[in-house]
A and B are shown apart, each in its own frame.
Chain A
Amino acid sequence: MNEEGGPSRAIDREHALRLLREMILIRRFEEKCAELYSAGKIRGFLHLYIGQEAVAVGAMQALQPDDAIVATYREHGHALARGVSAEAIMAEMYGKVEGCSRGRGGSMHLFDAATRFYGGNAIVGGGLPLAVGLALADKMQGRNRLTACFFGEGAVAEGEFHESMNLAALWQLPVLFCCENNLYAMGTALARSESETDLCLKASSFEMSAWPVDGMDVVACEAAARRAAESVRAGGGPHFLEFRTYRFRAHSMFDAELYRDKAEVEEWKKRDPIPAFGARAKEEGLLEDADLAAIEDAVAAEIAKSVEFAEAGTWEPVEDLTRFVYSERATSR
């Protein structure tokens, strides 16, 4: 199967600036997070998305405000691209009550009702059944909206992947399965864990439309997601996209990266989605050097503001420790 090539759909200057701005925001935000982690401001696990930004930014362009998103523990980029504020995410990283999960979730569990962002799920594969259920609710209620479910290729080895793919296809549910194949499940290469490494072939075996996408090309990611989402909305059942991408940083802050060659990482960095798209946009006359500088300045200001917000944030009173174990309102009806 060939990767979905660049689209014929021309993008205008405004859209190009938006794609670039969102990718740069994620990159700089996470660089800041790594710095704050070293400074002890952020604790727990921190999984950086650096290198994969084109996938979240491209795919989110295809979603409507009332669509739902289910993501993984490497979800800062998805939350930012979905429009959760950098302030709310940074405050969550700090564990402050102003965070998008009130400091209960941290880096791995970002949630946001306003943008229908359902986590931040840290059990590999565990988010897929949730996405199937969200889509089932929509179908049963006759709502024309979809659920985008992001997960890594490592999830493909989980039973929940196969169960969920089957159920979604069997019931023809509006799920857009977005598999981000960054080649390593933590430190285990795909070929060392799967007898069949063609992920689209696996998806196709569920009678589901599936195709691979160049995950380092934001325009290709957007085009593929738009095409798939359109088909899902038209009643075409679930679709599966394999975004071929690469994580530039370690799996988490505790990873010595013994499992891959530095040369391989350097090779992939040549395909860094941000400069690649920047160069292309410049070539097409959509972007000037001054634009790039303006974006960097605006992003730096936004991140500085988010850090300020998190620093100024408050700690949840310990007396509230056991809140949100059960709902505080008497009934859901």
Chain B
Amino acid sequence: MTAQVPTKTTYREAVRVAIREALQRDERVFLMGEDVGRYGGCFAVSKGLLAEFGPERIRDTPLSESAFVGAGIGAALGGVRPIVEIMTVNFSLLALDQIVNNAATILHMSGGQFNIPLVIRMTTGAGRQLAAQHSHSLEGWYAHIPGIKVLAPATIEDARGMLWPALEDPDPVLIFEHGSLYNVEGELAADAGTIDICKAAIRRPGTDVSLITYGGTLARTLQAAEALSSEGINAEVIDLRTLRPLDSETIVASVSKTHRAVIVDEGWRSGSISAEITARIVEQAFYDLDAPVARVCSAEVPMPYAKHLEDAALPQVPAIVASARRLVSGHE
């Protein structure tokens, strides 16, 4: 193999390349969802794929989330490999019955007879002034459900590398793509491989405090870590990548080393994935803690439209820095 030169690409292109590769690799794979074909995808992720693969495999659907998600489940049961795209996590609520009552249960209810190799991709998160019906981060909700896996690719490598293992998984996998990431540019090795979808990644090693995050807040958390380092605080940044199953081992190992944890999550704090992570740290690393676990989450309001209010509602770098600083200094 010749040496591959890394190429400049965007998160959006990385997802598209992953879909294209899957379509080329396995003739049973197809993409279906609202406006994935002629329109080119609501976020232009699937642009060009219709011309390349035709309407059978790049399949536009009516605005019937429950029917096309359920059809994805049925098609997976029938031996093909659907990638179902839902425009936003808010719209996925119209398909909750199919995801929670069928996709997550049929393997168990059938005593192991029928598995569902289905991938559902959807956009999540705020930051684009889309207000309260297009901006929420409900992936933590889905992480509550046994029977499905929940992935949140935060980097270009993961956007490219998570789809194939998700398709190879015998059970339903939900992939949450944060809407603010599509335009992010970076370099991607042309031969970048697939990744272990059940492992968290240490994005920045450190010794003083563990900053635990995923998806859309990874970049801000890394910025916070940089800011902290200029103050002499060496933060470790964990990108969870997978919210279910949660990689407790990586979290606990990190916190046992740094003795402090800040969880950064764009979801609301009450009854959330950040609460679950806190509980696991308390259950498994309580005696290693030098300070209470801290959380930086979204304000508990439906996401407002106005820019200054939306910014105020979301976890921002100064809040992450302040939170970590408090834990390390031991006082306000």
Within the complex, what minimum Cβ distance (angstroms) separates A140 from chain B? 6
B contact residues around A164 at 8 Å (CB): 67, 70-71
Q: Given the interface contacts A111-B110, A111-B114, does A137 sit within 8 Å of B74 by beta carbon? A: yes
Binds A, one of B6-14, B76-84, B182-190, B275-283: B76-84
Q: Interface size (A, Cβ < 8 Å)?
A: 51
Cβ B62 vs Cβ A163 within 8 A? yes
Within the complex, what minimum Cβ distance (angstroms) separates A246 from chain B? 28
Query: What are 20 A-B contacts with C-beta separation under 8 Å?
Result: A101-B110, A105-B110, A119-B109, A126-B97, A126-B101, A129-B67, A130-B77, A132-B74, A133-B71, A133-B77, A135-B78, A137-B79, A141-B28, A163-B62, A166-B64, A167-B71, A325-B146, A326-B170, A331-B169, A332-B117
B interface, size bucket: 35 or more
Asked if A112 is at the interface of the complex by the 8 Å CB criterion, the answer is yes
B contact residues around A326 at 8 Å (CB): 107, 147, 149, 170-171
Q: Of residues 14 to 49 in B, which have CB atoms within 8 Å of A's CB atoms?
A: 28, 30
Q: Given the interface contacts A118-B114, A121-B102, A332-B117, does A140 sit within 8 Å of B109 by beta carbon? A: no
Residues of B within 8 A of A (CB): 28, 30, 56, 61-62, 64, 66-80, 82, 97-98, 101-102, 106-115, 117, 146-147, 149, 168-171
- The CA of A328 and the CA of B28, in the complex, are separated in Å by 22
Add 19 more A-B contacts to A133-B70, A136-B71 (CB < 8 A): A100-B111, A101-B109, A101-B110, A105-B109, A111-B109, A113-B114, A126-B70, A126-B97, A126-B102, A129-B98, A130-B73, A133-B76, A133-B82, A141-B79, A141-B80, A163-B66, A166-B62, A166-B67, A326-B147
Cβ A109 vs Cβ B110 within 8 A? yes
- The CA of A278 and the CA of B21, in the complex, are separated in Å by 61
A-B contact count (CB 8 A): 162
- The CA of A90 and the CA of B266, in the complex, are separated in Å by 49
Cβ A134 vs Cβ B74 within 8 A? yes
B contact residues around A329 at 8 Å (CB): 170
**Most chain B CB atoms below 10 A, which of A126, A130, A131:** A130
B contact residues around A104 at 8 Å (CB): 108-111
B contact residues around A39 at 8 Å (CB): none
Residues of A within 8 A of B (CB): 68, 70, 99-105, 109, 111-113, 118-121, 123, 126, 128-138, 140-141, 147, 159-160, 163-164, 166-167, 170, 323-333
Within the complex, what minimum Cβ distance (angstroms) separates B332 from chain A? 44
- The CA of A124 and the CA of B115, in the complex, are separated in Å by 22
Within the complex, what minimum Cβ distance (angstroms) separates A258 from chain B? 29
- The CA of A15 and the CA of B66, in the complex, are separated in Å by 40
Cβ B78 vs Cβ A134 within 8 A? yes
Cβ B113 vs Cβ A129 within 8 A? no
A contact residues around B76 at 8 Å (CB): 133, 137
Across the interface, name the chain A residue whose C-beta is closest to B113: A113
- The CA of A113 and the CA of B117, in the complex, are separated in Å by 16
